Amino acid sequence: MMTPDRFRNTWAEINLAAIGYNIKQLKKLLPAESKVMTVVKADGYGHGSIQVAKTALDAGVDFLMVALLEEAVTLRENGITAPILVIGRVAPEYAYIAAENNITLAVFQLEWLKEIRNTNFKKKLLTHIELETGMGRTGICSKEELNAILHEYSINESIRLDGVFTHFATADEINSAYFHQQKERFDQLIKYIASIYPDELIVHTGNSAAGIQYSAQMQQYTRFGIATYGLYPSHEVKLLKHVDLQEAFSLYSELIQVKKLKAGECVSYGATYCAEEEEWIGTVPIGYGDGWRRALQGFHVLVNGRKMPIVGRICMDSMMIKLDQSYDVGTKVTLIGQDKEELISIDDVANFLHTINYEIPCMITSRVPRIYI
């Protein structure tokens, strides 16, 4: 018996050509010797890590970054052989899995290195040291810690130090003094490492915001995350107009019922919305179980190129919209994307929810199938 690729009439479309385009535009910003490290953590920011990784590699990227060892292993299991950095902490007892799969781990604790000292790796464990320069999250804070950590490398032949990096906290602000303080601290620590550690190391500092705003100051690699997907790290960075990006994520559904309400009739849980006159209501099969949050009540979608407000409380699996006329069951509903002359961008959704655009594609759950175009 043949079965379709998907049963749902709610789906997300991922434009891989837009992702490839964005990577090529971002590469143009950087110095000739600098390269791109594409960030595909959180399932490629909700776009699909495997498909995005393959697209990035086709676009000339040669390094990938994730947050979890599971994410890196998934890429390996799907035939991706390019270097991968796991930026989050991996429990010492699982470090051998990274070594066996040529996955690079971030190091920011002396105790972690001591715990793996007696591990018999079949292959050398590749690592990058993270330096804490002001993010206040993870990283090595002092020269004293660095000395102790570099000593561990000198007595453990099973691990190899390949790189060093930091993360900027305010690069999405224009000409932030705090950014410059972080960069100065990082530069000082890099000079110190170079004075006591003989091997050449990969250096990477920039995220999307730094890579766009301070592209000339980037090191061997720039970690482009949100910009890969056609989204700017902040409104201020977008206004710089240094790079043109194409949004890759769209979200669609269809009407499954259309009904006429009489004046006084109400919609959804709590009867928070009641018709003041006769009006058409459409039911759309997407809800907070799909990541389309209840807080989006009062936002709008597009039907036939027109804005239609979301009315009543959003349910787990469905929501209702106020229509300007009767439409057929099966009529397309655009939640994110273009419909004729109207557009709902990810930024529009984020602004309504008082959050950042990063969160929006990540919040759409795996119940919503991704269609790649």
Q: What is the CATH number of the domain that holds 121?
A: 3.20.20.10
Give the residue-averaged pLDDT of 6-11: 91
Considering the domain architecture, whether residues 159 and 218 belong to the same structural domain is answered as yes
Instruction: State yes or no: is 269 an active-site residue.
Output: yes
Considering the domain architecture, whether residues 110 and 49 belong to the same structural domain is answered as yes
Identify the domain boundary among 197, 213, 239.
239
Rounded CA-CA distance 101/264 in Å is: 63
Predicted model pTM: 0.94
Q: Is the pLDDT of residue 1 over 70?
A: no
Confidence of residue 314 (pLDDT cuts 50, 70, 90): very high
Identify the domain boundary among 239, 268, 296.
239
Active-site residue, selected from the candidate residues 41, 54, 183, 322: 41
In this prediction, residue 14 carries a pLDDT of 98
For 247-281, the pLDDT digits (tens) are 999 999 999 999 999 999 999 999 999 999 999 99
Rounded CA-CA distance 228/232 in Å is: 9
Both tokens assigned to 8: 């749902």
Counting residues of the chain whose pLDDT is more than 70, the rounded percentage is 99
In this prediction, residue 186 carries a pLDDT of 94
CA atoms within 13 Å, Cβ hemisphere of 117: 12
Reduced to 3 states (helix: H, G, I; strand: E, B; else coil), residue 126 is strand
For 222-247, the pLDDT digits (tens) are 999 999 999 999 999 999 999 999 99
Considering the domain architecture, whether residues 135 and 213 belong to the same structural domain is answered as yes
Instruction: State yes or no: is 94 an active-site residue.
Output: no
- What Å distances lie between residue 207 and 134, 176, 182, 252, 312, CA to CA? 15, 15, 13, 30, 40
Q: Is the pLDDT of residue 346 over 90?
A: yes
Rounded CA-CA distance 236/240 in Å is: 7
In this prediction, residue 350 carries a pLDDT of 98
Residue 373 lies in a domain: no
CA pseudo-torsion sign 21, 25, 31, 37: negative
- According to DSSP, the β-strands at 332-339 and 249-254 are antiparallel
Considering the domain architecture, whether residues 96 and 197 belong to the same structural domain is answered as yes
Residue 74 lies in a domain: yes
Considering the domain architecture, whether residues 221 and 294 belong to the same structural domain is answered as no
Look at the chain and report how many structural domains it folds into. Answer: 2
Structural domain of 263: 249-344
CA 154 to chain CA centroid, nearest Å: 36
In this prediction, residue 3 carries a pLDDT of 58
Rounded CA-CA distance 66/37 in Å is: 10
**Residue that has been written with the tokens 């907070």 in this structure:** 288
In this prediction, residue 199 carries a pLDDT of 86
Residue 355 lies in a domain: no
Considering the domain architecture, whether residues 171 and 278 belong to the same structural domain is answered as no
**Residue that has been written with the tokens 């007595």 in this structure:** 155
Give the residue-averaged pLDDT of 115-128: 93
User: If DSSP states are collapsed to H, E and C, what string results for 192-225?
Assistant: HHHHHCCCCCEEEEECHHHHHHCHHHCCCEEEEC
List, in sequence order, every beta strand (DSSP E) within 103-248: 103-107, 125-130, 159-165, 202-206, 221-224
Rounded CA-CA distance 280/276 in Å is: 12
**End-to-end Cα, the chain, rounded Å:** 26
C-beta neighbour count of 92 within 10 angstroms: 16
Q: Is the pLDDT of residue 58 over 90?
A: yes
Both tokens assigned to 234: 């902040």
Give the residue-averaged pLDDT of 5-27: 95
Q: Which residue has the higher pLDDT, 120 or 282?
A: 282
Q: What is the CATH number of the domain that holds 328?
A: 2.40.37.10
Considering the domain architecture, whether residues 232 and 258 belong to the same structural domain is answered as no
Considering the domain architecture, whether residues 84 and 35 belong to the same structural domain is answered as yes
Q: Is the pLDDT of residue 329 over 90?
A: yes
Residue 324 lies in a domain: yes
Residue 1 lies in a domain: no
Confidence of residue 92 (pLDDT cuts 50, 70, 90): very high
Q: Is the pLDDT of residue 317 over 90?
A: yes
Give the residue-averaged pLDDT of 132-158: 93
Residue 305 lies in a domain: yes
Mean pLDDT of the chain: 96
Residue 59 near residue 84 (C-beta atoms within 8 A): no
Considering the domain architecture, whether residues 25 and 155 belong to the same structural domain is answered as yes
Rounded CA-CA distance 360/32 in Å is: 33
Considering the domain architecture, whether residues 54 and 173 belong to the same structural domain is answered as yes
Confidence of residue 2 (pLDDT cuts 50, 70, 90): low
Residue 26 lies in a domain: yes
Considering the domain architecture, whether residues 138 and 163 belong to the same structural domain is answered as yes
Q: Specify the DSSP element, H or E, that contains 11.
A: strand 11-14
Residue 293 lies in a domain: yes
Considering the domain architecture, whether residues 99 and 183 belong to the same structural domain is answered as yes
Rounded CA-CA distance 347/230 in Å is: 11
Identify the domain boundary among 218, 239, 260.
239
Rounded CA-CA distance 143/210 in Å is: 25
For 65-82, the pLDDT digits (tens) are 999 999 999 999 999 999
Active-site residue, selected from the candidate residues 178, 192, 269, 372: 269
